Amino acid sequence: MSNDITLEILPNGYVKFRRGNRKHNEKMLEVISFLIEEDGATLEELQEFFKGSEDIELLHGESAFCG
């Protein structure tokens, strides 16, 4: 997993980013928390979303994709 944090703001205002391992997700949460400011409910949802990828063992490549 790369140490780079990449965040894309789409034309509709949505934000697109990759999930990763625990270390990567912590960095992403730090960045995203500045964007959503004090929206605790959204931050909790993001934490649950990130948990889904922390313990995944990749057998091939560096990325896990989800729909």
Tens of pLDDT along 22-47? 888 888 888 888 878 777 888 888 88
Q: Which residues contact 35 (CB under 8 A, 6 or more apart)?
A: 15
Can you give the residue ranges of every domain in the chain?
7-53
pLDDT on residue 54:
72
pTM of the model: 0.59
Collapse the DSSP code of 52 into the 3-class scheme (helix H, G, I; strand E, B; otherwise coil) and give the result. helix
User: Rg (Cα) of the chain, in Å, rounded?
Assistant: 12
Average pLDDT over residues 47-61: 74
